[in-house]
């Protein structure tokens, strides 16, 4: 029997993991810079959490969740996104009582959605997300957007576009919703089955439909922008001026609605405008979710956040021809010659590692020449040559692989000498 990775998932091999580690380093450093603290929540949650918070009418909840019943007859779901778990934890752990508000959190970890596999779309993918909960200050909207953009900038990306919209508050949404029902209602028979059920439950979703996106009634649908009340319009203006203040460019798109139900006011996406990037251009999505904490029994705690997948970030880097600087694999390779040199060589290996020098030796019983080849292949910066004569004399031959220089060094002085070479 042969086994393969499940459809929509991938093994990330050592030839790739180092890039992931570089991205994660950028994320950790930037979040520290912006004072966001890491939170780690479980991989699965009660199914109802996502049904309530992400929304019953969304594709994510209706079609994409990995839901199962455990042996205790509980319905659990592999998390399809990170905001609902973070807000659950915020409420459960009474973070609204922390003296420092807003509470600024971030996470990096796998998410699961039953989707059709294509480039940039997986069933298990890794999202980095950040959430600022507890403040309704438009400045924090701009901060969160700036953080997301900074990740891409540090990864070297240049071809980026920030798209922005306001979804307004409950009052605007209710008025707009009425207008949508009146607009689509008489013609709903021309739309897909999903849209027909969306009409009553959540007509805004029709604008986001992947099946009917070409229907002329979608282009002519009443725009949310015309239904923003004074307060929402002012909030949107404030967010934009904070972005202007940071020198961040954006485009306003009145049709940007986002795929999850919980958003209000600010909604945004960051796209790649690079030629090589293929059909899916969205790198990051986010928005404001005032009322989400209340929805699960918490106090009022307005929040804003975003999520991006590492997979799409790496694809965008590839499309723009950006790579990370690869670190030399190894400081020192110890080449031993003859049985007598083996134990002293192994002892030296231990001492080098204890001194923080990245070292390796042969475990395949290779001849000296093949050991030298290994050292080359592993890009060792130095080679220590140890034969029976050297052992007897208490010295080693130290070869600098960059210039081929070879010197005899007493074992007692070796580590000192190596540190010099590594630093120089």
Binding site for ligand ATP (CB under 6 A): 81, 113, 115, 120-122, 125, 127, 259-260, 280, 282-285, 307-309, 311-312
Closer of 213 and 408 to ligand ATP (Cβ)? 213
Closer of 113 and 399 to ligand ATP (Cβ)? 113
Closer of 151 and 180 to ligand ATP (Cβ)? 151
Least distance (Å) from ligand ATP to the CB of residue 8? 8
Closer of 254 and 378 to ligand ATP (Cβ)? 254
Least distance (Å) from ligand ATP to the CB of residue 26? 16
Q: Which residues contact 247 (CB under 8 A, 6 or more apart)?
A: none
Least distance (Å) from ligand ATP to the CB of residue 23? 13
Judge residue 74's burial from the number of C-beta atoms within 10 Å of its C-beta, 0-12 exposed, 13-18 middle, 19 or more buried: exposed
- Three-class SS of residue 395? strand
Least distance (Å) from ligand ATP to the CB of residue 110? 11
Least distance (Å) from ligand ATP to the CB of residue 102? 21
**Cβ distance 288 to 112 under 8 Å?**
no
Enter the tokens of residue 184.
């689509």
Least distance (Å) from ligand ATP to the CB of residue 124? 8
Closer of 113 and 381 to ligand ATP (Cβ)? 113
- Three-class SS of residue 241? helix
Q: Chain-centre distance of CA 376, in angstroms?
A: 35
Closer of 271 and 383 to ligand ATP (Cβ)? 271
Angle at 144 between CA 237 and CA 251, to 5 degrees: 45
Helix (H) or strand (E) run with residue 122 in it: none
**Dist CA 373 CA 378 (whole Å):** 9
Beta strands in 47-142 (DSSP E): 66-69, 75-78, 103-112, 124-133
- Three-class SS of residue 106? strand
Length reported for the chain? 424
Least distance (Å) from ligand ATP to the CB of residue 289? 12
Enter the tokens of residue 389.
């004569």
Closer of 115 and 253 to ligand ATP (Cβ)? 115
**Dist CA 48 CA 43 (whole Å):** 15
């Amino acid at each position: 029997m042969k086994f393969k990775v499940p459809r929509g998932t991938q093994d990330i091999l050592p030839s790739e993991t180092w890039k992931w580690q570089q991205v994660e380093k950028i994320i950790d450093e930037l979040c520290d810079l912006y004072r966001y603290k890491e939170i780690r929540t479980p991989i699965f949650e009660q199914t109802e959490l996502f049904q309530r918070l992400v929304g019953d009418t969304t594709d994510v909840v209706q079609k994409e969740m990995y839901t199962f019943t455990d042996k205790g007859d509980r319905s659990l779901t592999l998390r399809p996104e990170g905001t609902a778990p973070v807000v659950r934890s915020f409420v459960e752990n009474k973070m609204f009582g922390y003296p420092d508000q807003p509470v600024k959190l971030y996470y990096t970890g796998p998410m699961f959605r039953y989707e059709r596999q294509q480039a940039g779309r997986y069933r298990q993918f890794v999202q980095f997300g950040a959430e600022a909960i507890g403040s309704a200050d438009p400045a924090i909207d701009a901060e969160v957007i700036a953080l997301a953009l900074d990740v891409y900038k540090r990864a070297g990306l240049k071809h980026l576009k920030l798209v922005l919209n306001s979804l307004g508050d409950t009052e605007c949404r209710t008025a707009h919703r009425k207008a949508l029902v009146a607009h689509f209602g008489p013609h709903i028979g021309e739309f897909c089955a999903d849209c027909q059920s969306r009409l009553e439950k959540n007509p805004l979703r029709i604008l986001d439909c992947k099946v009917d996106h070409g229907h002329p009634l979608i282009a002519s649908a009443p725009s949310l922008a015309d239904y923003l009340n004074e307060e929402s319009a002012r909030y949107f203006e404030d967010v934009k001026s904070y972005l202007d203040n940071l020198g961040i460019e954006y485009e306003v798109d009145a049709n940007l609605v986002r795929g999850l139900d919980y958003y209000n006011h600010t909604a945004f996406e960051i796209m790649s405008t690079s030629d090589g990037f293929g059909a899916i251009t969205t790198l990051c999505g986010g928005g404001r979710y005032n009322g989400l904490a209340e929805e699960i029994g918490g106090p009022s705690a307005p929040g804003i956040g975003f999520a991006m997948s590492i997979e799409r970030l790496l694809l965008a880097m590839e499309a723009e021809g950006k790579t990370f600087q690869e670190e030399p694999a190894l400081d020192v390779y110890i080449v031993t010659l003859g049985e007598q040199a083996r134990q002293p060589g192994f002892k030296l290996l231990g001492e080098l590692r204890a001194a923080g020098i990245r070292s390796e030796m042969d475990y395949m019983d290779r001849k000296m020449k093949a050991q030298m080849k290994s050292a080359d292949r592993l890009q060792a910066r130095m080679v220590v040559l140890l034969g029976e004569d050297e052992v007897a004399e208490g010295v080693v031959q130290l070869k600098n692989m960059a210039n081929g220089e070879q010197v005899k060094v007493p074992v007692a002085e070796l580590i000192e000498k190596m540190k010099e070479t590594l630093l120089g």
